[in-house]
Amino acid sequence: MAECGRVDSNTSSHTMDKSITLPPDEIFRNMENAKRFAIDIGGSLTKLAYYSTVQHKVAKVRSFDHSTKEAAGDKLYEISVQEEVTARLHFIKFENAYIETCLDFIKDHLVNTETKVIKATGGGAHKFKELIERKLGLKVDKEDEMTCLIKGCNFVLKNIPHEAFVYAKHADSEFRFQTTNPDIFPYLLVNIGSGVSIVKVESEDKFERIGGSSIGGGTFWGLGALLTKTKRFDELLQLASKGQHSSVDMLVKDIYGGSYACLGLTGDLIASSFGKSATADKEFSNEDMAKSLLHMISNDIGQLACLYAKLHNLSRVYFGGFFIRGHPVTMHTITYSINFFTKGEVQALFLRHEGYLGAIGAFLKGAEEDNPNQYSWGENYAGSSGLMSVSPDMNPMQRARSGTFDMLEMDRLDRQLVNLPLLQDPSSYIPDTVDLTEDAQAREYWLSCFEEALDGVVKRAVASQPDIPEAAERAEKFRQKYLHKLQTLRHQPFAYGSLTVRSLLDTREHCLNEFNFPDPYSKIKERENDIALKYYEKAVKSLEELSWEDRQFALVRGVLAGNVFDWGAKAVSEVLESNPEFGFEEAKRRLEDRPWLVDSFDQWLERLKGPPHRCALFFVDNSGVDIILGVMPFVRELLSRGTEVVLASNSGPALNDVTNSELQILTERIAAMDPVIDSALREDRLTLVQDGSSSPCLDLSRLDKVLAMLVRERQTDLVIIEGMGRAIHTNYYAMLSCESLKMAVIKNSWLADRLGGKLFSVVFKYEVPAGKPH
Amino acid sequence: MAECGRVDSNTSSHTMDKSITLPPDEIFRNMENAKRFAIDIGGSLTKLAYYSTVQHKVAKVRSFDHSTKEAAGDKLYEISVQEEVTARLHFIKFENAYIETCLDFIKDHLVNTETKVIKATGGGAHKFKELIERKLGLKVDKEDEMTCLIKGCNFVLKNIPHEAFVYAKHADSEFRFQTTNPDIFPYLLVNIGSGVSIVKVESEDKFERIGGSSIGGGTFWGLGALLTKTKRFDELLQLASKGQHSSVDMLVKDIYGGSYACLGLTGDLIASSFGKSATADKEFSNEDMAKSLLHMISNDIGQLACLYAKLHNLSRVYFGGFFIRGHPVTMHTITYSINFFTKGEVQALFLRHEGYLGAIGAFLKGAEEDNPNQYSWGENYAGSSGLMSVSPDMNPMQRARSGTFDMLEMDRLDRQLVNLPLLQDPSSYIPDTVDLTEDAQAREYWLSCFEEALDGVVKRAVASQPDIPEAAERAEKFRQKYLHKLQTLRHQPFAYGSLTVRSLLDTREHCLNEFNFPDPYSKIKERENDIALKYYEKAVKSLEELSWEDRQFALVRGVLAGNVFDWGAKAVSEVLESNPEFGFEEAKRRLEDRPWLVDSFDQWLERLKGPPHRCALFFVDNSGVDIILGVMPFVRELLSRGTEVVLASNSGPALNDVTNSELQILTERIAAMDPVIDSALREDRLTLVQDGSSSPCLDLSRLDKVLAMLVRERQTDLVIIEGMGRAIHTNYYAMLSCESLKMAVIKNSWLADRLGGKLFSVVFKYEVPAGKPH
C-alpha cells in the first residue's frame, strides 16, 4: 500500500534547512518554461515533476552553396552554433518540511506557463491540497496512486539503462546493475510503503494488486517507535544497523542446541522473532530490538514476494517504497530474505529512481496528449544527482553538497531508440566490456585518466569558441561540474548505474553540453577532414595497383592506421597536440606487425574469396584520415564486390567522431571525385544513417529506429564496428546473429597492458555465429 | 517451528496447585500396568502419553451345551460376566509447573512395568532430561519433534471422528466439525509455536517442511511483553480480546478517507500494522496494542498458509501449536485471515487434540513394534476431558472441576474400522441427522431427555447385577459421571465434536462400561428373546397363509411392529417397564395406518415384483420380538426369493440391541425350527457379521473391515437399516450407491413433532440411487 499517509505535524518551520547549499535555481532548473506539473507527497518526502524546455547551443554543419561560390575560400563546410530548444523532464525530491518554501520559489519563477492544474498523488496529497492551490494558483487534480506508481515504473524501466540493480552487501560492488531488457513485462512490483502492496504488471495498461501485507514500513516505524522511543525513521534504521538481533530473537540453535538438520534449518536461522523477549528477565538494547524488527519485517516481505512470484510464475521482482528508499540495510535484509526463500531462483531487484515512480506516473498521466511514451528519453548525467545522493549513509562531503535535495533529469531524444535486430540475445547483451563498479583497479585508472585529461578538454572547449568572451568562464564551470562528478563517482561508483568508460565519456559530453560547448572538436575535425580529402584519390589509386590479396590487406591496414587518428585516446591526443601534421604513413608504421594481438585476418581473407555479403552495416568512428582514407576505400571495395553498405555515424557530436551531418557532406565530396561512390549513393547501395547516439561508445540496444528498420529491410549479413570506444570499451564481447568484424587499435597503454598487448596493438576480430557457414 | 523452548524459571514450586480438585489417580489412570511412555514438553505445557491395559467386565453369552443338558432349565443361553483386558492410550496435559509432582506420582505407581525408556520430544525435553531420568529411572530417548507432530496428526485425523473443526465466531455454533474423510492425505499443517512451520504431509511417512516464518506465537508473546509489560501469554490474549486495533493500526480509510475501491480494498482493511504509533503523540492502551499485534501475526500466518496451500494445490489446512491451543481469539483471527486471503477457497481447520500431537507421535514412534497403526482406536468419552476443558475462556465451574489437567483416552478396538463400500460419497457422508451443536432447541430437549432417563438407567444397571453388593455404589458413580458429562455438554456442546443423539448415547455406554456395567439389558434381552422364539413358528405359518402381496405388506408391518419394542426410546421404555407382556399384536395396533409419515411401500412392492436382489445387507436393531418376529420372517422371504442376506449386528452390547453373539445363538435356534433358515445358514446364503460397533446408532464410516469385505464380495445391491437410532437419528439422509430401505417407528413424541408426525408414526423410506433403474 501507499507510502505513509501521515505527515509530521511540525511543517510550520518553513525556512530551508542550513544543509541546503545549492541555490534554489540549481534545484528547480528551467522553471521559467515549465509546464505540466505533478507532485507526489509521501509520508516524509515530496517529489515534484515538471516538463520544461531547455534552450541550448548546438553545432550545425552546412555545406556551402557552391553554385554561388560566396565565402567558400578554403573552408570545407560552414560550422554554425545555433540555439535549439529541447524537452526535458525534471524530477526533484525533497523533505516535506521544505514544501512551503519550495512552492514559493516555484510560484515566483513560474512566468511563462499556461498550466492550470497540477497532478497530485501520494498519501499526503490531500493534506497539502489547499496549500498547493493557494501558493501556486493551480488546481490540484488527484491521480490514483497505484496507477501512477506502475506508469512511473514502466517508464524508468524502459528509458533508463541500469535502472534496476541487485544489492549484494559483501560483493566487490554492492550494486549489480541489470541490463535493460526491452521486453520489461511481466514483472512483480513490491511496494513497501506504510504497508505492502504486491502488484503484478502485465503490460503498459494492465496491472493487478495480487497481494499485500500490513507488515511494512509503517510497522517498522510504529513498532520501532514504541519499543525504542525513537521517533525518526532514519534513526531507527541507524539503530538497526548497529544491533545484534540474536539477543532478542530465538534462533534455531537456542531451541535445538544446533541446527535442525533433518529439516534443513541452520542453527543461526531465526526460529521466532522477539522469541527471547517474553521470558528473559532483562532489558534489551534499542539497537538490538530495531535490528530484530528490521529482520522480522524484511524476511516476511521477502517470503511473501517469493510466494507471489512463484504463484504467478514471475522471475523479475522489483522492490520500491519508502521502506527501501536506497537504505542499504533494508536492501540487504530484503535481498538476504529473497535469496533464502528462493534459493537464488528469484532475484530482489531495486530501482535507482524508485522514489520518483509516483511523481513520474502522475506526470505522464497529465501529459498523455504529448505522447511522452512515443519518444525515447535519456537520463542526463549532468543534471541528475545519482543514486543515494541524499542517503544518510552517504559520505558527508557529498551530502553537504547536495543537501537533502535529489534531482533526476531526463532529456527527450529526437528519436525512438530500439535494439539492433542483429543482436543474438538482446536480453543478455551488455554493451560495456569492463564494469568499473566491480573492477576497482580499472576504476581507479580510468577516473584518474579522465581527471588528468580534464585540463586538455577545458582548453579545447575554450579554443572552440574563440570569439565568445565568457567561454573561459563557462569552461571553468564545466571543469568544476565534471570534476565533482568524478569525485562523486570515486566514492559512489554506482551513482548512475554501472560505471564504465562509456558512462564517463557520456557524462563528460552531458556536462559540456550543459555549459554550451556543443562541439569542441568541430574546428579540428574540419581541418582534418579537409586535409584527408586531398589524399583520397591518391590513396584509392595506389590501392587499385595492388593485387587482389595485397589490396585486401592494405584496406584493413588503412582502416586500422586511420583509426590511430583519435582525439579521444590519451596517447594519441598527446601526439596530435604536439604534431598536427602527423601523417597517415607514420600511423601505418606505428601499427603492430602481424600476427596482431587479436588476429583473424586469414579467416576474413578466406571469407572474401567467397560470395559477396548482401549488406554490411558499418559503425564508423573518427573524422578525418580515419573516415576518409581508412573507411571509405574499404567501403568502396565492399561496394565493388556487390555488397550494399549502410554507414552508421553519430547523430550528435562526441570528441572527434564524425557526425552524420559531417559525413553527409564528406560523402558528397568523395562522390564528386569517385564514380564508384557516386553511383552507389545514387542507386541507394550506399546509405548514410544516424545511430541515434552522441557518444564515443556504442550501445547496440539503443539505436535509432530508422537504422534498425533499414538493417532488417536490407537483410544485413555483416556488421563492422570500428574504434576503441565502439569495439573495445563496448561490444568487445557482443554476440551478433550474423558475421561481424571488430577493428581497433589500442591507443591506451594501460588498456594495452590489461589485454596483454602493447601500445598500437591491433584487434582484428572476425566472428561468424555458431551454426553459420563461413 | 516447535513450541517455545523456553521454560519459566520458577519451576521450583512443586506442590500441586489448589485448583486441582481431581485426585492424581483420576488423572494418571491405569498407571499400574502402564508401559511405553512418551513425553512432550513445550514452553509451558507438558503432555504425557502412556499405554496401559484396562481390566474391565464384559458380558458374554454362551449357548448351553444341549448334549449334556446340564442346567438348561428354561434358560435360552448362559450369560456370564468375565474380566477382559483391553488396551488404552492415555494422554495427559498439564502445566510444566506440576512436572515434578507428577513424576513423583508416576514413579510411586509404576509397579508392573518393564519399561526402560521414555520417548521425549518438544523444546523443553532436554531441559527436563536429567529430572525425568532421576525421578522415573527411565532413560530419556529424544525423538524428532516434527516427525512426532506429523505422526500424531495423522493418528488423530484417522482415529478420532470430528477431530477437525472450522471455527466461526458469530455462527450459531462456533465449532463446525468436519466429517472424517478416510483419505486424509495430502494436507498442510501449519504449526504455530514460537515460530511457524508449514509442513506438507503427503502420506504416513512422507512430509516436507515447505515453509515457515519467524513471526509466530513467540513473537506475539515477546513483542507483547515488551509493549505491555504483561509477561503471561494468556493475559496477553485476554488483553487482545478487549482491545481496539484501529487506534494503533493505520487503516485504508485513514489514508484514503474511505475504501480504495479500484484495488478492491475496503476502508476498514489494515493498511499498516502499528502504522499510527510512529507519528501519533499519545499513549496507546495495552489492550489496543495487544489486539493490533494479534491481528498482525494472525493475518500474516493466514496469508502465508494460503499461499503455500495454493502453491502446492492443497485444500485442507490444519493449524496447530501453542499459539492456537484452543484460544477462540486466535482461532477467530486466523480464520478471518484465511477467509480474507482465499475468498473462502481454503478453510482454516483446527484440531480438538492439537496439543497432544507431539506426545502421540512420540508415543507411536516408541510403540511401532506393537503396530498401533494396524488397529482402529476410539476416543473414550468417559475418560477424555473434551475440548477447551482447561481453556481460560471456559466456564469457572468446569475449570474448577478439572483444574489445569486435560485428558484424552483412546481405546484400542478389536478390529479395524472402515467405510461401508456402498456409500455414494464417503467424503460427504455425515452419519448424524441433527447436529445438536447447531440446533439449540433440539440440544436442550435431548440433554433434558437423557438427564430424565438417567434414574431409569441407574435402576436397570443395579438390577442387572443382583448378586453384587457394591453395584449400587458403582451405579451412583456412573450417575455422577454421566450427569457431569451432560452438564459439561450443556455449556460446551462442542466438547467431543458435534453433539448428537448418537454421541449422547455412546457417552452413556462408555460411562456404564467405565463403572463395570457391561450390559445392563442382558437379562431383559434374554427374557424377551425366549418369549419371542416361542411365537416364531406361528408367526411364519400365518404369513405363509397370506397372498404374495398381502404377505409383503405383513412382513413390513412385522418389522415395524417389532421395532416398537425398544428400551432405548423414552415412550416405549415406559410402556415396557409397566407392562412387560406388551404384545406383538398390541404393537401392530399402535402403528400408524398408511399412508405413513414417509411411505414408499408402493415402490417397494413394485420392486419386489421384479428380479430378486443379489444380496441384502440388513443392519438389525433390537433383541426379542424385533429380531425374531419382525426381522427373521422378512429375511426368510428375501432368502426364498433367492437373495443372499448378510445380517449385521452390534459387536458389543448397547441398550436392548441384539449383539452378534446373541444373534448367533438365536439364529441357530430358529434354524432348528425352520428349514429355510437352516439351509441358508449351511449354504452361506445367510451370513451373520459384526458391525464393529457398540452403539445404538450406526456410523457407516466406521464398520468392521470383515463386513466391508463381505459386502464387496457378495456384490450387495440392497441395504436395509432398521430402527430409530440407525435409520432416523443417523443415516436418515445417508446416500447409498445401491437400493436402500430405511424402516423405523418414531417412539419419541418430540422427534415425531419435529418430523411433522405423531407417536408411532412410520418411516418407510425406499430409495434407488439416481441413474439406476428400479
CATH code for the domain in which residue A128 is found: 3.30.420.40
Q: How confident is the model at residue A70 (pLDDT cuts 50, 70, 90)?
A: very low
Q: Of the residues A493, A515, A537, which one is the last residue of a structural domain?
A: A515
Residue of B nearest to A121 (CA): B256
- The predicted pLDDT at position A590 comes to 84
- The predicted pLDDT at position A459 comes to 93
- The predicted pLDDT at position B65 comes to 60
What is the DSSP secondary-structure string of B142-177?
A: E--HHHHHHHHHHHHHHHSTT-EEEE-TTSSSSEEE
Residue contact A274–B308, C-beta within 8 A: no
Residue B511 in this model has a pLDDT that exceeds 90: yes
- The predicted pLDDT at position A265 comes to 82
- The predicted pLDDT at position A475 comes to 96
User: A272 lies in a domain?
Assistant: no
Mutate: best of A7, A220, A272, partner B, most B CBs <10 A:
A272
- Give buried/exposed letters for A106-123 (b at 16+ CB in 10 A, else e): beebbeebebeebbbbbb
User: A484 lies in a domain?
Assistant: yes
User: A29 lies in a domain?
Assistant: no
Q: How distant is the Cα of B35 from the closest Cα of chain A, in angstroms?
A: 28
On whether any CB of chain A is under 8 Å from the CB of B248, the answer is yes
Mutate: best of B279, B294, B314, B323, partner A, most A CBs <10 A:
B279
User: B92 lies in a domain?
Assistant: yes
Residue of B nearest to A124 (CA): B255
The total number of structural domains that make up chain A = 4
Nearest in space to A670 (alpha carbons), one of A622, A635, A710, A722: A635
Residues of chain B found within 8 Å of residue A217, distances taken between Cβ atoms = 272
Q: Are residues B333 and B400 in the same domain?
A: no
- The predicted pLDDT at position A400 comes to 46
Contacts of range A62-65, beta carbons closer than 8 Å, 24 or more positions apart: A63/A664, A63/A665, A63/A668
Residue contact B214–A4, C-beta within 8 A: no
Q: Are residues B546 and B508 in the same domain?
A: no
Cell numbers linked to A416:
525512438
Name which of B264, B277, B311 is nearest A310 (Cβ-Cβ).
B311
Cell numbers linked to B300:
500474516
This prediction has a pTM of: 0.83
What span, in angstroms and rounded, lies between the C-alpha atoms of B496 and B488?
10
Per-window interface: A 106-125 vs B, CB < 8 A:
123
pLDDT tens string A362-392: 999 888 777 777 788 889 998 888 776 655 4
Q: Are residues A584 and A640 in the same domain?
A: yes
Indicate the range of A56-70, A686-700, B334-348 predicted with least confidence. A56-70
Q: Are residues A183 and A295 in the same domain?
A: yes
Name which of A1, A213, A276 is nearest B222 (Cβ-Cβ).
A276
Of the ranges A329-333, A517-521, B37-41, B601-605, which is most confident?
Answer: B601-605
pLDDT tens string B707-739: 999 999 999 999 999 999 999 999 999 999 999
Q: Are residues B376 and B438 in the same domain?
A: no
pLDDT tens string B13-62: 333 443 444 566 777 888 888 888 899 988 778 899 998 888 888 888 88
Q: Are residues A155 and A231 in the same domain?
A: no
On whether any CB of chain A is under 8 Å from the CB of B221, the answer is yes
Of the ranges A257-271, A478-492, A715-729, B746-760, which is most confident?
Answer: A715-729
Name which of B212, B263, B310 is nearest A146 (Cβ-Cβ).
B263
- The predicted pLDDT at position A3 comes to 37
On whether any CB of chain A is under 8 Å from the CB of B603, the answer is no
- Backbone dihedral region for residue A23 (phi beyond 0: left; psi -120 to 50: alpha; all else: beta): beta
What is the DSSP secondary-structure string of B510-545?
A: HHHHHTT-S-TTHHHHHHHHHHHHHHHHHHHHHHHT
Q: What is the mean pLDDT of chain A?
A: 87
Indicate the range of B48-52, B323-327, B650-654 predicted with least confidence. B323-327
User: B648 lies in a domain?
Assistant: yes
- The predicted pLDDT at position B573 comes to 58
Contact B585, B565 (CB under 8 A): no
What is the DSSP secondary-structure string of B420-431?
A: -TTBS-GGG---
Contact A607, A648 (CB under 8 A): no
Find residue A721's DSSP bridge partners.
Answer: A619, A742
Q: Are residues A619 and A719 in the same domain?
A: yes
3-state secondary structure of A175: strand
User: A13 lies in a domain?
Assistant: no
- The predicted pLDDT at position A12 comes to 36
- The predicted pLDDT at position B72 comes to 47
Cell numbers linked to A586:
607514420
Q: What is the mean pLDDT of residues A250-256?
A: 83
Residue B231 in this model has a pLDDT that exceeds 80: yes
Residue of A nearest to B124 (CA): A255
pLDDT tens string A179-189: 877 789 999 99
Residue contact B308–A307, C-beta within 8 A: yes
- Backbone dihedral region for residue B32 (phi beyond 0: left; psi -120 to 50: alpha; all else: beta): alpha
Cell numbers linked to B404:
489445569
CATH code for the domain in which residue B758 is found: 3.40.50.10880
- The predicted pLDDT at position A571 comes to 60
Q: Are residues B381 and B467 in the same domain?
A: no
On whether any CB of chain B is under 8 Å from the CB of A226, the answer is yes
Name which of A219, A231, A280 is nearest B273 (Cβ-Cβ).
A219
Q: How confident is the model at residue B607 (pLDDT cuts 50, 70, 90)?
A: very high
Per-window interface: B 492-531 vs A, CB < 8 A:
none
- The predicted pLDDT at position A545 comes to 96
- CB neighbourhood size of B518 (10 A): 22
- The predicted pLDDT at position A308 comes to 96
Q: Are residues B475 and B576 in the same domain?
A: no
Q: How distant is the Cα of A277 from the closest Cα of chain B, in angstroms?
A: 5
Residue A334 in this model has a pLDDT that exceeds 60: yes
Residue contact A222–B277, C-beta within 8 A: yes
Contact B432, B737 (CB under 8 A): no
pLDDT tens string B239-290: 999 999 999 999 988 877 777 777 778 888 899 999 999 887 789 999 999 9
- The predicted pLDDT at position A6 comes to 36
Q: Are residues B576 and B723 in the same domain?
A: yes
Q: Of the residues B485, B515, B545, which one is the last residue of a structural domain?
A: B515
Residue contact B296–A123, C-beta within 8 A: no
- The predicted pLDDT at position A292 comes to 97
Instruction: Give residue A458's domain range.
Output: 431-515
What span, in angstroms and rounded, lies between the C-alpha atoms of B255 and A42?
11
Q: How confident is the model at residue A2 (pLDDT cuts 50, 70, 90)?
A: very low
Residue B410 in this model has a pLDDT that exceeds 80: yes
Residue of A nearest to B195 (CA): A272
User: B746 lies in a domain?
Assistant: yes
- The predicted pLDDT at position A207 comes to 96
Task: List CB contacts of B335: < 8 A, sequence separation 6 or more.
Answer: B166, B167, B168, B169, B348
Per-window interface: A 181-200 vs B, CB < 8 A:
193-195, 197
Cα B696 from chain centre? 14
Q: How confident is the model at residue A568 (pLDDT cuts 50, 70, 90)?
A: low
Q: Are residues A711 and A729 in the same domain?
A: yes
Residue of A nearest to B126 (CA): A256
Residues of chain B found within 8 Å of residue A277, distances taken between Cβ atoms = 222-223, 225-226
| Count of pairs with CB atoms under 8 A, one residue in A, one in B | 229
Contact A566, A621 (CB under 8 A): yes
Q: Are residues B558 and B602 in the same domain?
A: yes
Q: Of the residues A330, A351, A372, which one is the last residue of a structural domain?
A: A351
On whether any CB of chain B is under 8 Å from the CB of A312, the answer is no
Residue contact B195–A272, C-beta within 8 A: yes
Contact B17, B403 (CB under 8 A): yes
User: B609 lies in a domain?
Assistant: yes
What span, in angstroms and rounded, lies between the C-alpha atoms of A610 and A608?
5
Q: How confident is the model at residue A564 (pLDDT cuts 50, 70, 90)?
A: confident
Residue contact A194–B5, C-beta within 8 A: no
On whether any CB of chain B is under 8 Å from the CB of A146, the answer is yes
